[in-house]
């Protein structure tokens, strides 16, 4: 076009923040497939289900995938994933689907319950019975806490709870802990009482946020690592833990402090985990509007920020190009963590282990 100015759009450079190399994590954990084999054909409903050793082996397998992203393109060949998301999702659905595709499997995706028999009153149990004939694994997200359990009863293929209302989001928590261990791989070794404590601040309300509840449930599996946790909330929720979690924390022998003053505690924290959104039915509520992280927050220089995303005003985009940004790494690593879990559930572990 004569006279028209050239217009160029700057290509976004890949971010390098939170880019710890997974090979160091691989070196720290000795492979032991015996902890992964029992995952075969299991339903994944809660973070409670995982033992410490199983978690470490899953992280090792995830790191193996992440360290060699193009090496494993066929382990799920011939397998079909049913990806059913009855509540909005960017990261969870697409990272599960990416994980399955990367391993060579095929996918059927449902993103609207109105396009299935549920719109005609069909029960989730009956839908589950049909899924047995169509695929090899189900990933379900639903606004209703009971939904994955209703479907589970009729399933003979494994189902993964990808977020059920306010209850849990176990694979988000797996991805969160995987991120932390990639940040400091030496944390996977049992820590002695005289070692410096890792100070973790969690801005959120476990009873309202499934990501925070599942994260705490996994952290208590590593009481030697996560023994200095401060929950930061605005005090507007009475029982911030909800049922059972308080007992589980007590049983793990760790103390979780509470604070209503982010400024007062943030400068001491090694990890700042923030979430503000709670899904309530088909909408969401924002908690802790008074808590915001931006480049003026007096963070420790070495501190990392984690966030399950999607974010709102609580996490300024100004932080994206700082070394505190580990939330993008969290989302990136979730693909590899989910690759590890899926491989184990559909009994293809033997195709990715060096020795079985
Ligand atoms: N972290 C998370 O669950 O994000 P999505 O809602 O986009 O899946």
pLDDT tens digits along 148-175: 999 999 999 999 999 999 999 999 999 9
Determine if ligand 1 sits within 6 Å of the CB of residue 309.
yes
**3-class state of residue 13 by DSSP:** coil
Determine if ligand 1 sits within 6 Å of the CB of residue 175.
no
Structure tokens at 129: 């019975």
User: Which CATH fold would you assign to the domain 170-331?
Assistant: Rossmann fold (3.40.50)
Distance 90 CA to ligand 1 centre (A): 6
Q: Which atom of ligand 1 is nearest to the CA of 162?
A: 3
pLDDT tens digits along 129-151: 999 999 999 999 999 999 999 99
Mutational pocket test of ligand 1: of 85, 88, 90, 274, the residue with most ligand atoms within 8 Å of the beta carbon:
90
| DSSP per position, 76-91 | TTT-EEEEEESS--SH
**C-alpha R_g of the chain:** 21
pLDDT tens digits along 219-242: 999 999 999 999 999 998 888 998
What is 23-168+333-351's CATH number, 3.40.50.1370, 3.40.50.720, 1.10.10.60, 3.30.420.40?
Answer: 3.40.50.1370
Which pTM was predicted? Answer: 0.94
Strand (E) or helix (H) holding 133? helix 124-134
Check for a shared fold between 23-168+333-351 and 170-331: yes
Quote the CA–CA distance of 203 and 320 in Å, as a whole number. 18
Residues in the chain, overall count: 356
Report the first-to-last Cα separation within the chain, whole angstroms: 63
Share of the chain above pLDDT 70, in %: 95
Determine if ligand 1 sits within 6 Å of the CB of residue 310.
yes
Whether the pLDDT of residue 19 is over 90: the answer is no
Query: In the beta sheet, which residues pair with residue 325?
Result: 305
Give how far the C-alpha of residue 278 lies from the chain's centroid of Cα atoms, to the nearest Å.
15
The residue whose CA is least distant from atom 3 of ligand 1 is 92
Under DSSP, the state recorded for 297 is: S
pLDDT tens digits along 179-204: 999 999 999 999 998 999 999 999 99
pLDDT tens digits along 94-112: 999 999 999 999 999 999 9
Name which of 37, 43, 38, 40 is nearest 159 in CA terms. 43
Quote the CA–CA distance of 182 and 26 in Å, as a whole number. 9
Would you say 342 and 171 are in contact if contact means Cβ atoms under 8 Å apart?
no
The domains of the chain are located at 23-168+333-351, 170-331
């Amino acid at each position: 076009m004569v006279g028209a100015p050239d217009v160029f759009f700057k290509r976004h450079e890949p971010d390098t923040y939170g880019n710890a190399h997974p090979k160091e994590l691989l070196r720290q954990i000795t492979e032991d497939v015996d902890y992964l084999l029992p995952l075969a054909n299991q339903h994944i409903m809660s973070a409670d289900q995982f033992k410490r050793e199983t978690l470490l082996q899953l992280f090792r397998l995830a790191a193996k995938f992440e360290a060699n992203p193009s090496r494993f393109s066929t382990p799920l060949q011939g397998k079909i994933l049913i990806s059913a998301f009855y509540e909005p999702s960017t990261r969870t659905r697409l990272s599960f689907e990416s994980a399955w595709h990367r391993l060579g499997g095929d996918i059927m995706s449902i993103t609207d319950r109105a396009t299935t028999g549920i719109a005609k009153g069909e029960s989730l149990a009956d839908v589950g019975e049909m899924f047995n004939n169509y695929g090899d694994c189900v990933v379900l997200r639903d606004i209703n806490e009971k939904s994955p359990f209703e479907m589970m009863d009729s399933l003979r293929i494994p189902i993964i709870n990808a977020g059920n209302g306010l209850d849990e989001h176990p694979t988000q928590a797996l991805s969160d802990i995987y991120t932390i261990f990639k940040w400091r791989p030496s944390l996977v070794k049992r820590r002695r009482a005289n070692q410096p404590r890792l100070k973790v601040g969690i801005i959120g309300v476990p009873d309202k946020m499934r990501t925070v509840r599942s994260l705490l449930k996994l952290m208590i599996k590593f009481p030697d690592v996560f023994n200095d946790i401060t929950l930061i909330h605005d005090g507007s929720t009475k029982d911030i833990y909800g049922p059972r979690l308080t007992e589980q924390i007590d049983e793990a022998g760790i103390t979780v402090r509470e604070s209503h003053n982010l400024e007062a505690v943030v400068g001491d924290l090694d990890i700042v985990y923030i979430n503000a959104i709670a899904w309530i039915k088909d909408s969401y509520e924002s908690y802790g509007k008074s808590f915001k992280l931006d480049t003026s927050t007096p963070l420790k220089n070495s501190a990392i920020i984690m966030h399950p995303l999607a974010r709102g005003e609580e996490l300024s985009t100004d932080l994206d190009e700082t070394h505190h940004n580990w939330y993008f790494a969290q989302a990136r690593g979730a693909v590899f963590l989910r690759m590890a879990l899926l491989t184990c559930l559909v009994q293809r572990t033997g195709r990715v282990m060096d020795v079985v």
